[in-house]
Amino acid sequence: MSDADSTFKDRNINRENAAEIIAIDFFKSRNIGYIRYGFDEKFQRVDSRQWWKIPEVIRSAPDFIAFGRTVAFVEAKGYKKELKIKINDLVSYEHWNRILPLFLFVRNFDNSNQYYLKWDNVKSIIYGCDTEKYNNGKTYFILPENELVILNNEKKKTNS
């Protein structure tokens, strides 16, 4: 069973968030300052009776604030095969993006490709992507790897 099909509890027992660890390495390799921001579901667990009382947009706070060319929120996500973004997360990302620019640091654990993508650019293609549902009924968008490559290359062009 893949992580995506496991329960939240099973995905988070005694495990590090590999995407966050790799994002930290990414920040360090580019001299980007950062602080952890969102909840650490692996090691600083919130009791479930309290967790569900917290508004979803707060529970979905980005993982980091990064200090590069600009100050920005960064959400670290790992995936296999194709990136999946839940509709619930999309709503939260929009909220956080109104406060500071939001970037996604995404890592494909099948081939080790990684991308640092501006949320506004991801948003520009997401509604054209296919959707599916997890076992828990939550709908998600499927962003194929080739779309991430294109977005990443467009970012490089605008930074040149």
pTM above 0.85, yes or no: no
Which pLDDT belongs to residue 50? 79
Q: Is 11 helix (H, G, I), strand (E, B) or coil?
A: helix
State the total domains in the chain: 1
Which pLDDT belongs to residue 56? 81
The Cα 78–Cα 73 span in angstroms is 17
CATH code of the domain in which 18 resides: 3.40.1350.10
Q: What is the mean pLDDT of the chain?
A: 85
- Estimate to the nearest angstrom the gap between the alpha carbon of 57 and the chain centroid: 14
Helix 87-99, helix 119-126: angle, nearest 10 = 140
**Is the CB of residue 152 less than 8 Å from the CB of residue 115?**
yes
List, for residues 63-121, the tens digit of each pLDDT value. Answer: 999 999 999 999 999 999 899 999 999 999 999 999 999 999 999 999 999 999 999 99
At which residue do the structure tokens 């980007």 appear? 32
pLDDT at 43 over 70: no
The Cα 36–Cα 22 span in angstroms is 13
**Cα angle, residue 86 at apex, residues 49 and 146 outer, rounded to 5°:** 150
pLDDT at 160 over 60: no
Task: Retrieve residue 126's tokens.
Answer: 């997401």
Identify the domain containing residue 116 by its residue range. Answer: 3-159
